[in-house]
Amino acid sequence: MKFFLLLLAVGFCWAQYSPHTESGRTSIVHLFEWRWADIALECERYLAPKGFGGVQVSPPNENAVINNPSRPWWERYQPVSYKICTRSGNENEFKDMVTRCNNVGVRIYVDAVINHMSGSGVSAGTSSTCGSYFDPGSRDFPAVPYSGWDFNDGKCKTESGEIENYQDATQVRDCRLVGLVDLALGKDYVRSKIAEYLNNLIDIGVAGFRIDASKHMWPGDIKAILDTLNNLNTRWFSEGSRAFIYQEVIDLGGEPITGSEYFGNGRVTEFKYGAKLGTVLRKWNGEKMSYLNNWGEGWGFVPSDRALVFVDNHDNQRGHGAGGASILTFFDARLYKMGVGFMLAHPYGFTRVMSSYRWDRNFVNGQDANDWIGPPNNDGVIKEVTINPDTTCGNGWVCEHRWRQIRNMVAFRNVVDGQPFTNWWDNGSNQVAFGRGNKGFIVFNNDDWSLSVTLQTGLPAGTYCDVISGDKSDGNCTGIKIYVSSDGKANFSISNSAEDPFIAIHADSKL
């Protein structure tokens, strides 16, 4: 019996639902479009010391070079081959990054673009990040190699060959997504080429994959590929560990394809999370923070242990993908920090923090005409992420993950890991608070008037440093101090005009 229980426990830890982060590290960050050399440095100088569990990196495989518009971010979602060779760096730089990040306990997760190859609108030639020839028109990708037989053109039943109706699950899976030529994942040969690519990454030392456009693939086809993957590299992971899998399934309800169809393969991205949280914090549709008392499955989300959650991602922060106008981003910094703070304090889901670059938005009829703009660059070469004396980033990189409020909430989540959701309080409006057992407590004031209230925190008596307004430093606090009395109660005052109208304290911020 004991042996059986042990097997069960170990089985869970090894499976595709576990991120394989080091113990005590509970969040990952998407360093969107960063170069491998910069990520390696960031792991060593910042992410490891601040308790980040891992990094989602942009697709590392060769992609089409798009010049009209000029080098958009989305060119990386147009594969040409499985050579590790992009604007972020070559295979040696990628290996160096994975090794250095793993060596300081920070995992690497690869954005795997396996549903399709470069689009039909792109002409034949060698305009690719490694110079490989390809011809989407004739379905010729000799650097893999793929040819006409390896695509779904015969299987797709729509007139245009494109996905025309999202209510028809078959065409969503068998037809082209915005012109991108659709790989025949039913074929053993195609599966084997994809598995070869993913196994190369696993052997280098990555911990798992975001599976791009999973909704556009049959769950069984994804499973057939995953079943042939190697175990993770035992230089950093325990024997028998399986790659962490999170599948991009945009399910906001109202379509026949649901996230739950993909649970057998791994976790899914819960897009309702950011869309709803944005609606609540913006107070749209009569939503209030007090309604968040049953946040999670109670809001129709997938089970917590199947969810990968985020406030925004690289698509919906610029109006692509899903979620619409309610999505909070660094452009709405005050609400954004509250949203990310709420996510990191709340026990639901496995959390991913977004880290972006700046671009000039240009709204035309409600649409951002600049939604395509690629990363900061010099003539197409991605710019280095420079670090300012105040620890923020330069050269156009936003680095939300370095904002004090967000970085400190990543630490909060690590401290309260495994603790229950406790001591909920609300005023029936937009003032709410909750604790995580006896390890942490957070209070929000998103009303248009000040908050002054005595609350049960569940924490041991003492003086705590609010990690939103400041940092604990040399045993002192650069921000607001909160006094918890021996009965666990504390007074909180938060002006509605505070720079950040929320306060968070935890076991490690005790003075």
Ligand X SMILES: *[C@@H]1O[C@H](CO)[C@@H](O)[C@H](O)[C@H]1NC(C)=O
Residues that bind ligand X (CB under 6 A): 427-429, 431, 447, 451, 453-454, 476, 483, 485, 489-491
Nearer to ligand X, 390 or 474 (CB): 474
Nearer to ligand X, 293 or 476 (CB): 476
For residue 88, count CB atoms less than 10 angstroms from its CB and return exposed for 0-12, middle for 13-18, buried for 19 or more.
buried
Per-residue CA distances from 370 to 59, 134, 358, 396 (Å): 22, 28, 11, 15
> In the bound complex, what is the minimum distance in angstroms from residue 447's beta carbon to ligand X?
6
> In the bound complex, what is the minimum distance in angstroms from residue 474's beta carbon to ligand X?
7
Q: DSSP 3-state assignment of 262?
A: helix
> In the bound complex, what is the minimum distance in angstroms from residue 496's beta carbon to ligand X?
10
Q: DSSP 3-state assignment of 77?
A: helix
Nearer to ligand X, 257 or 433 (CB): 433
Joined tokens for residue 63: 């992609």
Nearer to ligand X, 141 or 492 (CB): 492
The CA distance from 69 to 292, in Å, is 42
Nearer to ligand X, 258 or 493 (CB): 493
Evaluated on CA atoms 264, 266, 267, 268, the torsion sign reads: negative
Instruction: Give 464's strand partners.
Output: 482, 510
**Active-site hit among 150, 174, 212, 251:** 212
> In the bound complex, what is the minimum distance in angstroms from residue 287's beta carbon to ligand X?
14
> In the bound complex, what is the minimum distance in angstroms from residue 332's beta carbon to ligand X?
23
β-sheet with 481-484: strand ranges across? 451-456, 489-494, 481-484, 462-465
The CA distance from 509 to 87, in Å, is 40
Helix residue ranges per DSSP H, 18-66: 36-42, 48-50
Nearer to ligand X, 166 or 291 (CB): 291
**Active-site hit among 93, 248, 400, 500:** 248
Whether 447 sits among the annotated catalytic residues: the reply is: no
Strand 79-86 relative to strand 89-90, pairing: antiparallel
Residue 172 corresponds to which amino acid?
A: V
Joined tokens for residue 258: 């649901």
The CA distance from 343 to 303, in Å, is 15
Joined tokens for residue 95: 């290996």
Nearer to ligand X, 294 or 476 (CB): 476
> In the bound complex, what is the minimum distance in angstroms from residue 483's beta carbon to ligand X?
4
Residue nearest ligand X, CB atom distance: 427
The CA distance from 57 to 470, in Å, is 30
Whether 212 sits among the annotated catalytic residues: the reply is: yes
Number of Cβ atoms within 10 Å of the Cβ of 223 = 13
Q: 271-281 and 333-345 are packed helices; what angle lies between their axes, rounded to 10 degrees?
A: 130
**Contact by Cβ (8 Å): 39, 31:** yes
> In the bound complex, what is the minimum distance in angstroms from residue 511's beta carbon to ligand X?
9
Nearer to ligand X, 106 or 484 (CB): 484
Q: Which of 272, 114, 263 is nearest to 197 (CA)?
A: 114
> In the bound complex, what is the minimum distance in angstroms from residue 223's beta carbon to ligand X?
49
Residue 7 corresponds to which amino acid?
A: L
> In the bound complex, what is the minimum distance in angstroms from residue 284's beta carbon to ligand X?
18
Joined tokens for residue 160: 């245009």
Per-residue CA distances from 435 to 81, 233, 405, 438, 488 (Å): 48, 38, 17, 7, 11
Nearer to ligand X, 314 or 506 (CB): 506
Joined tokens for residue 503: 């306060």
Active site residues: 212, 248
